[in-house]
């Protein structure tokens, strides 16, 4: 998990670097998805096309649209605010997903969940400090991106009832590539040789990070593995400092600590429920 979140932070760093070289973030999103699809294609081929059948094409498309919006918002935000701040705000995703599960999927609203949700929103407010600072457009994009990711996770829960994990991953990869190509046309510029290399690393690294993460959840307990994912902030702070001369504020660290406390509380609550369910699935982490 530590390696996985390190790779994800490195990817964010590449996005920022390539954007600084003149390529628009929307176009970078498309190439990230294109190369990611190419890297995963042998796995899809090996699984056989019969495994990729589904009756929920419309739902897969809807999830692709939601996830595309999230990726575009995130990549654009990375060019506007420091890596560490963007990463810290993204930690609110499990909190959003928990709220959505209660409101739209009929899950029980336990006391631990509400404490976790409260901590998450308090931490977010500490980082943003509305009324004390003008909220940066990049921060707004990260918050919107986190909402979209949470919605995508809830859609996965629904898809997992009817489709296999490989089917879900295939249609997300395919729809993301097709959907993000459309806006990329309006910002098109051919990458330099150096940027082609970075874009390939971007797509390959994204797929690798998710494979590592899925394996981490497979071999380790959720309550042990999930808190380690917050090492991503340390990676982001290091990359931001050494490569872009970015230094996270004290408020960012304080707010992150509050969000992480809420997320860990939520993880323990969810883990207790999973342990009571013998046939639980880790599809959320694919």
The whole-number pLDDT of residue 2 equals: 92
- Spans in the chain with pLDDT lower than 70: 131-134, 270-286
278 class by beta-carbon count within 10 Å (0-12 exposed, 13-18 middle, 19+ buried): exposed
Structural domain that includes position 130 = 2-285
The whole-number pLDDT of residue 133 equals: 65
The whole-number pLDDT of residue 108 equals: 78
218 has which bridge partners? Answer: none
Q: How far is CA 215 from CA 2, 45, 173, 222, 241, in A?
A: 12, 21, 19, 12, 30
Nearest alpha-carbon partner for 284 in 174, 175, 210, 179: 210
**How many domains is the chain built from?**
1
Residue 54's SS3 state is coil
pLDDT digits (tens, 9 = 90+) for 161-196: 899 888 999 999 999 999 999 999 999 999 999 999
**Other beta carbons less than 10 A from residue 51's beta carbon:** 15
Contact 13, 239 (CB under 8 A): yes
The whole-number pLDDT of residue 283 equals: 34
């Amino acid at each position: 998990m530590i390696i996985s979140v390190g790779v994800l932070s490195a990817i964010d760093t590449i996005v920022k670097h390539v954007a600084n070289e003149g390529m628009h973030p929307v176009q970078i999103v498309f190439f990230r998805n294109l190369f990611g699809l190419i890297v995963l294609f042998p796995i899809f081929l090996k699984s056989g096309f019969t495994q990729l059948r589904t009756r929920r094409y419309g739902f897969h498309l809807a999830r692709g649209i939601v996830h595309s919006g999230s990726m575009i918002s995130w990549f654009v935000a990375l060019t506007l605010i420091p890596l560490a701040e963007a990463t810290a705000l993204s930690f609110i995703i499990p909190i959003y997903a928990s709220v959505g599960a209660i409101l739209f999927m009929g899950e029980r609203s336990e006391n631990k969940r509400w404490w976790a949700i409260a901590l998450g929103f308090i931490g977010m407010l500490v980082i943003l400090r509305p009324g004390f600072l003008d909220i940066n457009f990049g921060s707004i994009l990260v918050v919107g991106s986190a909402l979209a990711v949470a919605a995508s996770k809830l859609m996965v829960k629904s898809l997992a009832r009817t489709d296999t994990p490989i089917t879900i991953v295939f249609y997300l990869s395919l729809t993301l590539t097709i959907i993000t190509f459309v806006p990329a046309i309006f910002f098109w510029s051919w990458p330099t040789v150096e940027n082609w290399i970075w874009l390939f690393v971007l797509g390959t690294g994204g797929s690798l990070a998710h494979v590592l993460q899925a394996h981490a959840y497979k071999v380790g307990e959720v309550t042990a593995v999930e808190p380690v994912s917050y090492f991503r902030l340390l990676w982001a702070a290091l990359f931001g400092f050494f490569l872009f001369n970015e230094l996270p504020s004290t408020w960012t660290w304080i707010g992150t600590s509050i969000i992480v406390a809420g997320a860990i509380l939520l993880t323990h609550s969810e883990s207790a429920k999973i342990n009571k369910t013998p046939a639980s699935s880790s599809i959320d982490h694919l």
